Structures are given as structure tokens and as C-alpha cells.
């Protein structure tokens, strides 16, 4: 039997558009003589719908669209992730996260997700009730064990009492293939973890495995697709594209199919493609067509601009330089050269006169307190003037403003509220500074796009004479290592010092992380690419005194 594996990029709540996409792919699969087509988790509604699941109208529209979809399906069997309502008089949550097996326009079976993740960015127990039985379907003489996303992750997560895969094989004989429909977000390093997990399951149970994953950006989450077929030995026999919609047909006679060209596991190309996809999908799914951003001549804004042009096209990216009295000629030259290399629109709005006007307006109040000479306040004024001007361009022309701060800066508060933190999307807010350099060199791998001087010069905010980031911060290679240990491995001062770092530096870095939590709560949404990003997956109180 030919089986079509489909990874689609749904829009949450766009039931008409998602259903149309599903129908079109099913019709194409029929033309290719497929007997079964498999879609990802919650493919009809899009994942994750969050508290839309609490709205009766959302659920009723889902069910109505599902009924219409079933009525219009061609003659092909279908496995698809859907919301399942349990009924108002039942105990527990009112919904299941289910895989539906549809044949001849009728729902033949419902396989309910058993393991509901409630950690980091996941909170499925808020809406769903767990299933409690293994799922087996029969199709064209084959028996498929069906699981939904987390159900296959028991051995890796290690916090669940039951193992749905083990239960499936202990209670059911003659499983020909294990299917996992999924909406598994991308993060650096996750692809190799997935493949190791899948390989272990295939070898342990001597069975092929089909993994079908959602693709696309949804707010801060980036779904990479990269669906695979593994044989019973854990060898990859078919693979779909990364970070793009794709359809791939496999054959159950020998459990094989095409190995579509895709980015390799866990490298800079995958990170680059994830960010490009995230920009494109957030901008377009939110109804924008174009973006604006400040170009300082530095590496962060250069990387953000290059990613935006790749995602949206040069004609939809507007770069603006906003030089202050402390901006160097080199920086303005590099900003102009970048825009020329990218082919995007570029304008210059000097802010020196505005800066002088602000200072003059504040002078009577500032002069009344002789103990407060020029300090960080005046530096932040420049950033806030820039932020206001960029927001004005966003409002006037309908551009989405991109903020350009990296994760290292965001972590220690080296950013200005209502200034350079202004924006609708923080593209690289989960990309540490050292990785910013690596990505920039990756973009320049064939020709110079980001000016080399932007990469090689010492990073500086240029908000006072002869300023350099390292006047206030540790070297970024040290800072990034400390931040990774603290933010992603949850280590405190003593544990990080035991890894060989200076105690005073560690204490200062962790202090900065703690006292700047309030800034990050007000930051624009960022694209998640590490195991612990700032945003709703990290819940730290602003007002607290723990300094471990």
C-alpha cells in the first residue's frame, strides 16, 4: 500500500483554509494511488490553540468543519489530529486531543492522546483529558499502532507513570507499523534526540515507525516538520523537508520512500531556516506584509535584516538608520552597505536635534539636582527617541516593527524599555551573541551580505563616547556560557563556579538576570530556538529575592 505523509502549515482557527488544504492534499494522494494519508496532531484547528479551546464557538466550528471535510473527502483512508468533545456531563476536562481514523466519510476510530505535557511551553492538562487505551487501526490488511505526539516520549521525558508505546505492544499482537502524529516544536539539538528515541523504539519492538510532524511558525513556537519513516532497525528510509510544507509517499511493501533533501540535523542551516520561517509566518499570519527595523551598523540589526529579507523579500523590508551624536561614520557606512547588499529600502533619520531638544526640556528638572550628572538616563533617551520614530513609521505605513536584541542582552537587561525593545517581534531574542556571530558568518558563506566590519568590530551601543559592550559586561563567550548553564540547565552560583567560572562574575550575571525580569515581561514576542526561551515557557516572578 502507498501511504502519503503530509506535513502542513495550518493557521490556528482558520478552519476553512486548513480544511481546503487537507482536501487538496487528499485528492492529490488519490491521484498517486495512495490508500492512506496521515496528517499531524490537531491539523484541522492548528496547534496550539490554547484558550480558544474554552470557547464553544471555536469547538462547534471545528466540529462543523470536520463534518463538511468528511462529506467532501475522496475515497481514501485518513488519519488526522482533531479536537474531540467529551460531553458536558462528564467528569474531568471536556476535550480529548485525538487522532481520528476516517473512512468513507465516517469517523471509524478515535485514538486519544494519553500523555499530556505540562512543562515549559506546554500546558495541555489545562484543556484536555488523557486517554487510557492503546490505539490500533486496520487498513488494507495492515495493523497500525497510532500514538499522538507526547505518547512516544515516555522514556525521554521520564515523568509519566504509563508508557503508551510499551502498553500498546504488550496488549496487542502483530503491529505492522507504529504511527506518531505530532506537533513537536523545533529547538537546537532536538532533531538528534528525536532520532535517537525513534531508533530505540524501532529496535526494541522490531517495527517500522512513521512520524508526521506539523510545520510552520505559530507565535513564538517554530515547528520544523522533518517527518520521517524509520525501518525496524531504526534506519531512516524516508524523510520530508525541514521548515516547509511537504508530501511524501512511502510503500508498505518494503517500508521505504524518497529521502527528500533537507537541512541536516542541528546545524546552523536549520537554525537559519527556523528563524526565516518564523519571521514569514508571524508577519503573514498576523496580517502584515512588510517590516521596519533600525539599522545601526552593528551585527544584531544586520543579522535581523538579512533574515527578514530572506523571509519576506527585499521589497518588504524597510531599514532605517537613526544616528545620534555618538554614532560613528563607520557604523553609518556599514548600515548603508548592508541595505545595498540586501536590496532593501534604506533611509536615514538623524536624531541629534531631537536629543538636544529632549535634554533642553528636561534641563530645569535635571539641573535642580546637581548630584545627577549625565548618566544612563541620557543614553536611554537616545534609544527611546529611536523607538518612537520607528513606531511612528510602523503606525503610518503598516509595517511590523522588528526589534533586534539578542538573548545575551535580553538576559542581563542590556536593552532599553520603550527604546530598542520596541517592536512586534523580537527575531533573535533567543539567539545568544556568540551564535549571532556564527549565523552572520553562515549568511556570508557564499558572498558578503553582512559587512565584514559589522562582524569584526567590537560590539557597541554607541550611546556615549568610545562606548563598548565589554565596558559593562563580561566577554560574550564567557557570558553566553554562564547564561546557558543558568537558563537552560538551571544551575545556580555555586554550581556554575564549580564549572570553572569566576565567582564575582557569575554573581553579577545572575543578579542582572534577576533584576531585569520586569523588562522581559514587557518585551515583544520572540522566536524560540533553544530549550529555554524568555516568554510564556519561562515563569519567574518579578518581585522575589532568591539569589541561588
Question: Which residues are known to be catalytic?
Answer: 41, 113, 149
298: helix, strand or coil? coil
Distance CA 224, CA 478 (A): 30
**307's grid cell:** 533574515
Dihedral sign from CA coordinates of 237, 241, 242, 245: negative
**493's grid cell:** 552560583
Closest CA to 185 of 97, 239, 117: 117
Is it true that the peptide bond before 252 is cis, omega within 30 degrees of 0?
Answer: no
Size (the chain), residues: 548
Distance CA 215, CA 185 (A): 9
Distance CA 319, CA 404 (A): 12
> Within its chain, how far is the Cα of 428 from the centroid?
11
Bridge partner residues of 143 (DSSP): 138
Q: Tell me the helix, strand and coil percentages in the chain, rounded to 5.
A: 40, 20, 40
User: For the CA atoms of the chain, what is the radius of gyration?
Assistant: 26
Helices (H), ranges, 90-224: 154-157, 164-171, 190-205
Write the DSSP string, 139-177: ETTEEEEEEEGGGG-HHHH---S--HHHHHHHH-----E
> If you search the block for the grid coordinates 529632549, which residue do you land on?
358
Specify whether the CB–CB gap between 209 and 239 falls below 8 A: no
Phi–psi pair at 482, nearest 5 degrees: -65, -45
> Within its chain, how far is the Cα of 295 from the centroid?
24
Q: Are strands 317-321 and 291-294 parallel, antiparallel or unpaired?
A: parallel
Q: At what angle are helices 299-312 and 433-443 packed, to 10 degrees? A: 50
**547's grid cell:** 539569589
Residue 175: how many CA atoms within 13 Å on its side-chain side?
27
Q: For 210, left (φ over 0), alpha (ψ -120 to 50), or beta?
A: beta
Distance CA 193, CA 200 (A): 11
Amino acid at each position: 500500500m502507498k501511504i502519503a505523509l503530509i506535513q502542513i502549515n495550518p493557521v490556528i482557527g482558520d478552519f476553512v483554509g486548513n480544511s481546503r488544504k487537507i482536501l487538496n492534499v487528499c485528492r492529490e494522494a488519490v491521484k498517486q494511488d495512495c490508500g492512506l494519508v496521515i496528517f499531524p496532531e490537531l491539523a484541522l484547528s492548528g496547534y496550539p490553540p490554547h484558550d480558544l479551546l474554552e470557547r464553544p464557538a471555536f469547538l462547534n466550528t471545528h466540529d462543523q468543519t470536520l463534518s463538511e471535510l468528511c462529506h467532501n473527502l475522496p475515497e481514501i483512508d485518513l488519519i488526522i489530529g482533531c479536537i474531540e468533545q467529551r460531553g458536558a456531563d462528564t467528569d474531568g476536562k471536556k476535550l480529548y486531543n485525538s487522532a481520528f481514523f476516517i473512512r468513507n466519510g465516517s469517523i471509524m476510530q478515535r485514538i486519544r492522546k494519553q500523555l499530556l505535557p505540562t512543562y515549559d511551553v506546554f500546558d495541555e492538562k489545562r484543556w484536555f483529558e488523557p486517554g487510557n487505551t492503546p490505539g490500533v487501526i486496520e487498513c488494507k490488511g495492515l495493523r497500525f499502532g497510532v500514538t499522538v505526539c507526547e505518547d512516544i516520549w515516555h522514556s525521554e521525558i521520564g515523568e509519566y507513570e504509563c508508557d503508551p508505546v510499551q502498553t500498546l505492544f504488550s496488549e496487542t499482537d502483530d503491529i505492522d507499523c507504529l504511527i506518531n502524529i505530532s506537533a513537536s516544536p523545533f529547538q537546537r539539538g532536538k532533531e538528534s534526540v528525536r532520532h535517537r528515541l525513534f531508533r530505540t523504539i524501532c529496535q526494541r519492538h522490531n517495527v517500522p515507525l512513521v512520524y508526521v510532524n506539523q510545520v510552520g511558525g505559530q507565535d513564538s513556537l517554530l515547528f520544523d516538520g522533518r517527518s520521517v519513516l524509520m525501518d525496524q532497525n531504526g534506519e531512516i528510509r524516508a524523510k520530508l523537508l525541514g521548515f516547509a510544507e511537504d508530501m511524501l509517499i512511502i510503500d508498505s511493501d518494503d517500508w521505504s520512500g524518497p529521502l527528500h533533501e533537507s537541512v541536516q540535523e542541528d546545524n546552523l542551516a536549520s537554525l537559519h531556516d527556523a528563524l526565516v520561517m518564523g519571521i514569514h509566518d508571524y508577519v503573514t499570519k498576523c496580517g502584515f506584509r512588510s517590516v521596519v527595523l533600525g539599522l545601526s551598523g552593528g551585527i544584531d540589526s544586520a543579522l535581523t535584516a538579512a533574515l527578514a529579507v530572506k523571509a519576506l523579500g527585499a521589497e518588504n523590508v524597510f531599514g532605517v538608520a537613526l544616528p545620534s551624536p555618538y554614532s560613528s561614520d563607520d557604523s553609518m557606512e556599514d548600515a548603508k552597505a548592508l541595505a545595498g547588499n540586501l536590496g532593501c529600502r534604506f533611509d536615514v533619520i538623524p536624531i541629534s536635534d531631537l536629543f538636544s531638544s529632549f535634554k533642553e526640556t528636561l534641563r530645569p528638572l535635571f539641573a535642580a539636582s546637581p548630584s545627577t550628572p549625565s548618566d544612563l538616563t541620557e543614553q536611554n533617551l537616545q534609544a527611546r527617541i529611536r523607538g518612537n520614530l520607528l513606531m511612528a513609521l510602523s503606525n503610518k505605513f503598516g509595517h511590523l516593527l522588528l526589534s533586534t536584541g539578542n538573548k545575551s542582552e535580553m538576559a542581563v537587561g542590556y536593552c532599553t524599555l520603550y527604546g530598542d525593545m520596541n517592536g512586534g517581534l523580537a527575531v533573535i531574542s533567543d539567539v545568544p551573541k556568540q551564535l549571532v556571530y556564527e549565523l552572520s558568518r553562515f549568511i556570508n558563506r557564499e558572498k558578503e551580505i553582512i559587512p565584514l566590519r559589522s562582524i569584526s568590530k567590537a560590539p557597541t551601543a554607541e550611546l556615549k563616547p568610545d562606548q563598548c559592550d565589554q565596558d559593562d559586561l563580561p566577554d560574550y563567550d564567557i557570558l553566553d556560557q554562564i547564561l546557558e548553564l543558568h537558563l537552560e540547565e538551571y544551575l545556580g552560583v555555586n554550581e556554575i563556579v564549580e564549572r570553572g567560572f569566576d565567582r564575582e562574575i557569575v554573581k553579577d550575571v545572575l543578579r542582572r538576570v534577576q533584576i531585569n525580569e520586569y523588562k522581559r515581561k514587557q518585551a515583544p514576542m520572540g522566536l524560540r530556538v533553544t530549550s529555554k526561551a524568555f516568554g510564556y515557557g519561562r515563569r519567574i516572578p518579578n518581585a522575589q529575592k532568591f539569589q541561588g
